[in-house]
Amino acid sequence: MADEVLSQFQQAKAEEKIDTSRKIKVGIIGTGWIAESHIQSYNAMPDVEVVAMCDLIPGKAEAFKEKWNVPGEVHFYPNHKEMLDNEQLDCVSVCTYNATHAECTIYALEKGVNVLLEKPMCVTLDEAAEIVKAEKKSGKVLSIGFQPRFDANMQQIKKIVESGVLGEIYYIQTGGGRRRGIPNSTFIEKRTAGIGALGDIGCYSLDMVLNAIGYPTPKTVSAYKSAFFGTSTEYQSEKDAARFNVDDFAAAFIRLEPGQFGDKDGIILDFRIAWAMHVDTPGDTIIFGKKGALRIPSTDCWNGSVGGPMKIYHDVAGQRVETVIPIIQNKGQGLFYKKVRSFLDASMNGGAAPVPSSQIIKNQAILDGIVKSAEAGKEIEIVMPEV
């Protein structure tokens, strides 16, 4: 997955106009795999100084600076608290595993620092509510790291829905997954990841369609989750199977509040996600509208990208026709760079968060609802917290 994700990243182009009269002081919390895409972006920005890094694993942040040739003096710390207590930072990237997203983000906001928080927002809805409260109290920018938002093909989905060509939307099936693609390291234990495929890739499928329809609030969810592959020594090493205690597959039926594109009953979301299964895909994403349907091909990896040209199925003058939407080549910087740059620009110029928590808390509410419904074995109501 690393190459596929990171190949979307490109270095800064010389023609980009950046004001270098003031350097933005940045810190990195957690110097693992995804922090690599953040540091490559920061290294390419002439108005950024990465001045501090921390990681719970001794020596990891120091080795990270060496590996990525980070220029200038960098101060190293053993955890987020020590870093934030001792540094005057403008912005931080929270690149820790999911289980520490909330504590790192809340502490940074309390210290008056803008936060770019990796996806998923956190593990539970309660944590998400605490994050939003801290954000509101701080008046700082919090943006969630969904780089697919900057993909022109993803943006096209929203434009198609908003154009009205599909008419009123009443049902959406979304999700995806891999025949075999369970990550290991910190992704497979509740202690570090909190949730499995749901948080790793499920949040992308939800964001793709919820963003297109204006993020209506979820009302109820009936869900199922399992971990057959992750816990089996047939598909995993003995060591990984023994420590695997998150989901590797989840499916859910979600009712959304009536929104901009729904009828009076609200849109139904039919969701499936898999890190492993005995089939190549649990299906493409399809947005069903009263005038047309949009099919968005899935990918082998499913990390929030479009797998091929999309198609609109509709009737023209009594004939059933299909309109192919060609793949759009993204222009300019890579998606990871755009994600970081848009966050810095909002932070330094007083703009709105590019991927706001007001939307992503609803994504988290669905993930949380899926876990709770699956564990209860019945449909549950999703109660959005007051924040």
Ligand X SMILES: NC(=O)c1ccc[n+]([C@@H]2O[C@H](COP(=O)([O-])OP(=O)(O)OC[C@H]3O[C@@H](n4cnc5c(N)ncnc54)[C@H](O)[C@@H]3O)[C@@H](O)[C@H]2O)c1
Q: Which is nearer to ligand X, 193 or 382 (CB)?
A: 193
Q: Which is nearer to ligand X, 121 or 161 (CB)?
A: 121
Q: Which is nearer to ligand X, 8 or 114 (CB)?
A: 8
Q: Which is nearer to ligand X, 145 or 354 (CB)?
A: 145
Q: Single out the residue of 296, 290, 250 nearest to residue 270, CA to CA.
A: 250
321 - beta bridge partners? Answer: 314
By CB under 6 A, residue 100 contacts ligand X: yes
Q: Which is nearer to ligand X, 204 or 271 (CB)?
A: 204
Stretch that binds ligand X, among 50-58, 132-140, 354-362, 374-382 (CB under 6 A): 50-58
**Position among 38, 65, 111, 119 found at the interface with ligand X (CB under 6 A):** 119
Q: Tell me the CA distances in angstroms from 42 to 18, 57, 158, 166, one per residue in order.
A: 13, 22, 29, 40
Tell me if 381 sits within 8 A of 219, measured CB to CB: yes
Q: Which is nearer to ligand X, 79 or 333 (CB)?
A: 79
> Which residues ranging from 151 to 210 are in contact with ligand X (CB under 6 A)?
185-186, 200
Taking CB atoms, the residue at the shortest distance from ligand X is 32
By CB under 6 A, residue 240 contacts ligand X: no
By CB under 6 A, residue 323 contacts ligand X: no
**Position among 79, 231, 359, 363 found at the interface with ligand X (CB under 6 A):** 79
By CB under 6 A, residue 104 contacts ligand X: yes
Angstrom distance (rounded) from CA 357 to CA 349:
19
Residues 6+ apart with CB under 8 A from 359: 210, 211, 215
Stretch that binds ligand X, among 33-41, 229-237, 252-260, 372-380 (CB under 6 A): 33-41
By CB under 6 A, residue 33 contacts ligand X: yes
By CB under 6 A, residue 95 contacts ligand X: yes
Say which amino acid occupies 7.
Answer: S
Structure tokens belonging to residue 237: 């090493």
Stretch that binds ligand X, among 91-99, 123-131, 170-178, 377-385 (CB under 6 A): 91-99
Q: Tell me the CA distances in angstroms from 93 to 270, 287, 338, 365, one per residue in order.
A: 33, 34, 14, 23
By CB under 6 A, residue 130 contacts ligand X: no
Q: Single out the residue of 259, 249, 248 nearest to residue 172, CA to CA.
A: 259
**Position among 93, 98, 174, 305 found at the interface with ligand X (CB under 6 A):** 98
**Position among 147, 174, 281, 359 found at the interface with ligand X (CB under 6 A):** 147
Angstrom distance (rounded) from CA 157 to CA 295:
10
**Position among 10, 23, 56, 299 found at the interface with ligand X (CB under 6 A):** 56
Size of the site for ligand X (CB under 6 A): 28
Stretch that binds ligand X, among 55-63, 150-158, 235-243, 322-330 (CB under 6 A): 55-63
Residues at the interface with ligand X (CB under 6 A): 5, 29-35, 54-57, 60, 79-80, 95-98, 100, 104, 118-119, 145, 147, 185-186, 200
